[in-house]
Amino acid sequence: MTANGTHVPARMHGDRVDWVDYAKGICIIMVVMMHSVLGVEAAAGETGFMHLVVEFAKPFRMPDFFLLSGLFLAVVIDRDWRTYLDRKVVHFAYFYVLWVTIQFAFKAPSFAAEIGWAGVVKLYALSFIDPFGTLWFIYLLPIFFVVTKATRRAPPLLIWAIAALLESLHVATGWMVIDEFCARFFYFYTGYLFASRVFAFSDAARARPALALIGLAIWAAINAALVHTGVSEWPLLSLLLGLAGACAIIAAGTLLAEKRWLDGLRFCGEHSIVIYLAFFLPMAVSRTLLLKFAGFLGTGMIALLVTIIGVVGALVIWRLAMLSGATFLFERPNAFWIAPRKKSARLQAAE
């Protein structure tokens, strides 16, 4: 809304809200960056300049992703359980099982050299209880969807308060599902519960871009200072920084969408889960080759290049799969639907 109460419409791309895809694009690139940078640094035995970027994004990288994932849930939460489970559980379960199997196919030889083939089989079986590697996000999403629908009759603010408490406790059992549920459900539920306010915030940023830019600058300075001083993960402060960072990414996505700048970010956001599923392969290959043959570039530059290759390579894999007929990699086949198939069945985080 503007100051005089006039609604400022969001820019659309087809049936998608542009600023949401811009925000998702920023998020997925930060996720790929984190895995790329930490992987390169672990292999190189030293840190580079990209480490500072990863640390800066840590307070809000995943909170924003989960908040955006809950943003459109109110549109579909009243569906019958069969349809809901098909779209929100079977959908993601299919891609998790498929891609965890693909990842194990690539990594099994190196695992076997360390723990033997019996250990590989055990590790693969364990991945269905405790999510494996980079794929924990799509393992956790169906749990969030089911919990949110199952608690529909409970007072929403009570659920929100409990979720906030769980985040603030910084639960650390060693089991990823439990620990990440406690750490992330608050942000997902916030996106669901306060979706209208999130869109109003985006409208406000669009109506007052100068004020939004000032706010972004202030937020960046505070976030950087708190990360640098080592207090960003303190209880309650971590929650506030997660929310503040989510608001910052929403504002940034809104401003970029309004100007149509960096449209590649919107494309990445539209295909964020595609990138999330496939980036591990180009990331791993490029990391090995660059460290072996281009070590002179330095750890920071190699990490940056691996990030770029991870994102672009995932999109190339997706495009080749679509062109070659291997659509099952990114589209759920008919045999794996338990409710009537949608007209468009491509994997999307918003649906």
Condensed to tens digits (0 to 9), the pLDDT of residues 116-158 reads 999 999 999 999 999 988 899 999 999 999 999 999 999 999 9
pLDDT of residue 349: 39
Q: What is the pLDDT of residue 7?
A: 42
Judged by DSSP in three states, 174 sits in: coil
Contacts 24+ apart (CB under 8 A), 208-216: 209/255, 209/258, 212/251, 212/254, 212/255, 213/255, 215/248, 215/251, 216/248, 216/251, 216/252
Q: What is the pLDDT of residue 348?
A: 44
Give the residues of the chain that fall short of pLDDT 70.
Answer: 1-14, 342-351
Phi, psi (deg, nearest 5) at residue 259: -90, -10
The overall longest dimension of the chain from CA atoms, in Å, is 68
pLDDT of residue 261: 85
* Residue among 79, 80, 93 nearest 337 (CA): 93
* CA distances from residue 166 to 156, 185, 193, 236, 261 in whole angstroms, order as listed: 15, 8, 17, 10, 38
Strand stretches in the chain, DSSP E: 12-13, 16-17
Determine the pLDDT at residue 194: 97
Contact status, residue 241 vs residue 60, Cβ threshold 8 Å = yes
pLDDT at position 132, please?
A: 87
For residue 8, what pLDDT is reported?
A: 45
pLDDT at position 199 is 96
Q: Give the pLDDT of residue 12.
A: 63
Task: Report pTM.
Answer: 0.91
DSSP 212-265: HHHHHHHHHHHHHHHHHTT-TTSTTHHHHHHHHHHHHHHHHHHHHHHHT-SHHH
Question: What is the rounded CA–CA span in Å between residue 347 and residue 69?
Answer: 13
- pLDDT for 146 equals 98
Structure tokens that stand for 278 in this block:
């496939």
> What is the overall mean pLDDT for the chain?
92
Give CA torsion, residues 210, 216, 217, 223, to 10 deg: 170
Predicted local distance difference test score (pLDDT) of residue 345: 47
Number of helices (H) and strands (E), helices first, in the chain?
16, 2
Residue 337 CA to residue 174 CA, distance in Å, equals 33
Alpha-carbon gap, residue 58 to 30, rounded angstroms: 9
- 274, two tokens: 């595609």
